[in-house]
């Protein structure tokens, strides 16, 4: 069942989204060679709690941290460790925040220092795919129009779309219907209606799309060890078109 949100709920999600966006921008500033993933997680958690937010991931199905931090070949759900960022890494940081009972979810993949041209292209294409997907989040379109647009951008650049991980509805729960795959045929899936709120999140690999789950039963990497990127925004379908709820006007966010 897809839960459509009231105008007031969408405004509440936008407030949560602003805090998500601000937190990711802060983490992007801190993410320099030498900082550990655990340090980043602690910084994020205190930043969020000081502002009245609750990290949605922490405790979600037993997940132990505020951030999911997934470096290099890791795609998503990396549990922060004592790994220290190194020059040339690409690091995906994924964050959900609950504020006054409403959730916003966003991810950004940062380059640490100077990164390779191929890595930069992977990040650019993933971000471009996210924008193309959001653009399809319009009344009268269908869910798979989003994935189709994402897939086009990613595959025409020669990269691959991860199939086994998908975007999702979001609102009072972290993961609501519908699933939002990053691939598909135009016109498939549920019709998009005003008030639907979706976390759109392309996860792409430089190599093959297959994934492996690590022994911690959370972190997931590309099976071939190729670099991976992940960008995510929470957006609302409105009569006026797609509204991104996790972007700020200034700073690093799309
Ligand atoms: N923010 C993640 C998502 O995009 C949530 C992962 S669940 C967690 O859906 F518990 F690992 F945080
Ligand atoms: Co999400």
* Ligand 2 centroid distance, CA of 240 (Å): 24
Strand order through the sheet with 228-230: 160-161, 203-205, 228-230
- CB within 8 A of 214, min separation 6: which ones? 220, 221
Q: What is the per-residue pLDDT for 249? A: 52
Which tokens hold the place of 237? 């379908």
* Ligand 2 centroid distance, CA of 114 (Å): 28
Ligand 1 atom with the shortest distance to the CA of 105:
1
Q: What is the per-residue pLDDT for 137? A: 98
Q: What is the per-residue pLDDT for 119? A: 98
Q: Is the peptide bond before 178 cis (omega within 30 degrees of 0)?
A: yes
Q: What is the per-residue pLDDT for 253? A: 43
* Ligand 2 centroid distance, CA of 142 (Å): 19
| Ligand found nearest the CA of 200 | 2
Element spanning 104, H or E: strand 102-111
Domain 7-244: give its CATH code: 3.90.230.10
| Ligand found nearest the CA of 55 | 1
* Ligand 1 centroid distance, CA of 57 (Å): 6
pLDDT by residue for the chain (254 residues), tens digit each?
Answer: 999 999 999 999 999 999 999 999 999 999 999 999 999 999 999 999 999 999 999 999 999 999 999 999 999 999 999 999 999 999 999 999 999 999 999 999 999 999 999 999 999 999 999 999 999 999 999 999 999 999 999 999 999 999 999 999 999 999 999 999 999 999 999 999 999 999 999 999 999 999 999 999 999 999 999 999 999 999 999 999 999 999 975 444 44
Q: What is the per-residue pLDDT for 146? A: 98
* Residue 134 exposed, middle or buried by CB count within 10 Å (0-12, 13-18, 19+): buried
d(Cα 182, Cα 79) in Å, to the nearest integer?
23
Ligand 1 atom with the shortest distance to the CA of 77:
11
Domain ranges, ordered by start, for the chain:
7-244
Q: What is the per-residue pLDDT for 251? A: 42
Which residues does ligand 1 sit against, CB inside 6 Å? 57, 60-61, 63, 68, 77, 94, 96, 105, 199, 201, 232
């Amino acid at each position: 069942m897809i839960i459509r949100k009231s105008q007031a709920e969408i405004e509440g999600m936008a407030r949560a989204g602003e805090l998500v966006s601000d937190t990711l921008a802060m983490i992007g500033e801190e993410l320099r060679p030498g900082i550990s993933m655990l340090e980043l997680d602690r910084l994020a958690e205190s930043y969020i709690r000081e502002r009245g937010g609750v990290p949605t991931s922490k405790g979600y199905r037993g997940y132990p941290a505020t951030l999911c931090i997934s470096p290099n070949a890791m795609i998503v759900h990396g549990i922060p460790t004592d790994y220290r960022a190194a020059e040339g890494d690409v690091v995906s940081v994924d964050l959900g925040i609950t504020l006054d009972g409403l959730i916003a979810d966003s991810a950004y993949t940062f380059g640490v220092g100077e990164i390779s041209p191929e890595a930069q292209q992977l990040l650019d294409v993933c971000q471009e795919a996210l924008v193309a997907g959001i653009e399809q989040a319009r009344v009268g379109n269908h869910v798979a129009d989003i994935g189709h647009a994402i897939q086009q951008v990613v595959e025409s650049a020669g990269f691959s779309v991860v199939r086994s991980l998908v975007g999702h509805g979001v609102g009072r729960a972290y993961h609501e219907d519908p699933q939002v795959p990053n691939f598909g045929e135009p016109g498939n899936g549920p019709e998009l209606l005003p008030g639907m709120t979706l976390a759109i999140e392309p996860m792409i690999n430089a190599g093959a799309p297959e994934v492996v789950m690590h022994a911690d039963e959370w972190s997931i990497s590309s099976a071939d060890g190729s670099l991976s990127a992940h960008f995510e925004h929470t957006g609302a379908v409105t009569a006026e078109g797609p509204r991104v709820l996790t972007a700020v006007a200034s700073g690093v966010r799309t």
